[in-house]
C-alpha cells in the first residue's frame, strides 16, 4: 500500500535476512538481494533510524560480512542502548570476528533488558555456543538445552547439542540430537564435516574462531558419528 514506507522496507528486509540466518531460505541469493535493496532504500530515506541500521547489520551478517556489520549494530545501539536485537547481532559478529570474550557480556545485557523476550532462544543459543567453543561443555549443554526448550524446531540448536553431548561422552544423546538436526534440516547439510565447512559462514570466520570450532564443535561432531567427507 505504501512502497516508500521505511518501516515496511525495514521489516521486510529484516524478515528476509532472518530467514537466511536461521537456514530456512529456499532462495538465499534472491532473499539477500531483495533485503539489501530494501534496507538501502530505508537508510537513504531515514539515515538515523536505529531499526534500519540494525537490519543493515543483519543483512551484512547474512552475507558473511561481519566486519562491516559491527559498526551498523553499534550505530543502532548508540541511538538506543536497549535495542536487544542489535546486541544479539553484535554478539554473533564479535564471535565470528574472533572477539569471543566480548560475546557473553553483550548477550547478558540483552537478557537483563528483556528477560521474557520472544527471541530469547537465540540468546541462549549464542551463550551455549560460546561455552562450547571455550570447552566449557557442561555449561554449553545447560544453555543449549534452554535454547532447545524455547525453540525445538531450530536445527542448529540440535547440531550444537550433538557436538556438546559427544564431547561430554554421552554418545547416545549426541546421536539423538544429530538425528533430530538432520530431520529438521531436511537436506544433506549435516551429512559430513566437509559439507558443513563448505558454507559461507565457515569461510568467513576469523582464524581464531575457526580454530576454536575445529577443536570443539567439529571434534564433537566427529565423535557423534558425522563422517569427514
Residue 136 DSSP code = -
Would 140 be classed as within a structural domain?
yes
Residue 3: Cβ within 10 Å count? 8
What is the spatial distance between Cα 154 and Cα 181, in angstroms, rounded to a whole number? 8
Would 30 be classed as within a structural domain?
no
Give the pLDDT band of residue 201 (cuts 50, 70, 90).
Answer: confident
Query: Residue 199: what pLDDT?
Result: 78
Interval 27-71: pLDDT, tens: 999 999 999 999 999 999 999 999 999 999 999 999 999 999 999
**Statement: residue 200 has pLDDT above 80:** no
Would 219 be classed as within a structural domain?
yes
Strand residue runs (E) in 102-161: none
CATH number of the domain bearing residue 126: 1.25.40.10
Lowest mean pLDDT among 8-12, 24-28, 70-74, 161-165: 24-28
Would 67 be classed as within a structural domain?
no
Domain range spanning residue 132?
A: 119-229
Would 209 be classed as within a structural domain?
yes
How far are the Cα atoms of 33, 44, 90, 154 from residue 47, in angstroms, in the given order? 20, 6, 19, 34
Cell numbers linked to 178? 544429530
What is the spatial distance between Cα 79 and Cα 194, in angstroms, rounded to a whole number? 42
How many structural domains are present in the chain? 1
* Residue among 38, 66, 39, 63 at smallest CA distance from 52: 39
Query: Residue 192: what pLDDT?
Result: 96
Interval 113-151: pLDDT, tens: 999 999 999 999 999 999 999 999 999 999 999 999 999
Would 134 be classed as within a structural domain?
yes
Residue 187 DSSP code = S
Amino acid at each position: 500500500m505504501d512502497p516508500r514506507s521505511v518501516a515496511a522496507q525495514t521489516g521486510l528486509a529484516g524478515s528476509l535476512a532472518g530467514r537466511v540466518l536461521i537456514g530456512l531460505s529456499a532462495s538465499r541469493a534472491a532473499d539477500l538481494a531483495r533485503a539489501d535493496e530494501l534496507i538501502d532504500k530505508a537508510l537513504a530515506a531515514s539515515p538515523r533510524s536505529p531499526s534500519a541500521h540494525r537490519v543493515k547489520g543483519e543483512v551484512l551478517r547474512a552475507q558473511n560480512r561481519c566486519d562491516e556489520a559491527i559498526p551498523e549494530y553499534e550505530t543502532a545501539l548508540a541511538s538506543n542502548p536497549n535495542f536487544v536485537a542489535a546486541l544479539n547481532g553484535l554478539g554473533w559478529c564479535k564471535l565470528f570476528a574472533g572477539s569471543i570474550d566480548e560475546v557473553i557480556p553483550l548477550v547478558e545485557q540483552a537478557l537483563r533488558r528483556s528477560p521474557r523476550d520472544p527471541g530469547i532462544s537465540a540468546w541462549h543459543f549464542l551463550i551455549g555456543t560460546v561455552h562450547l567453543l571455550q570447552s566449557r561443555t557442561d555449561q554449553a549443554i545447560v544453555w543449549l538445552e534452554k535454547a532447545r526448550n524455547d525453540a525445538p524446531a531450530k536445527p542448529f540448536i540440535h547440531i550444537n547439542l550433538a557436538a556438546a553431548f559427544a564431547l561430554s561422552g554421552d554418545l547416545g544423546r549426541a546421536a539423538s540430537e544429530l538425528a533430530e538436526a538432520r530431520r529438521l534440516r531436511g537436506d544433506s547439510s549435516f551429512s559430513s564435516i566437509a559439507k558443513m565447512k563448505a558454507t559461507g559462514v565457515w569461510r568467513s570466520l576469523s582464524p581464531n574462531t575457526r580454530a576454536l570450532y575445529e577443536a570443539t564443535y567439529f571434534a564433537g561432531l566427529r565423535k557423534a558419528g558425522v563422517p569427514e567427507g
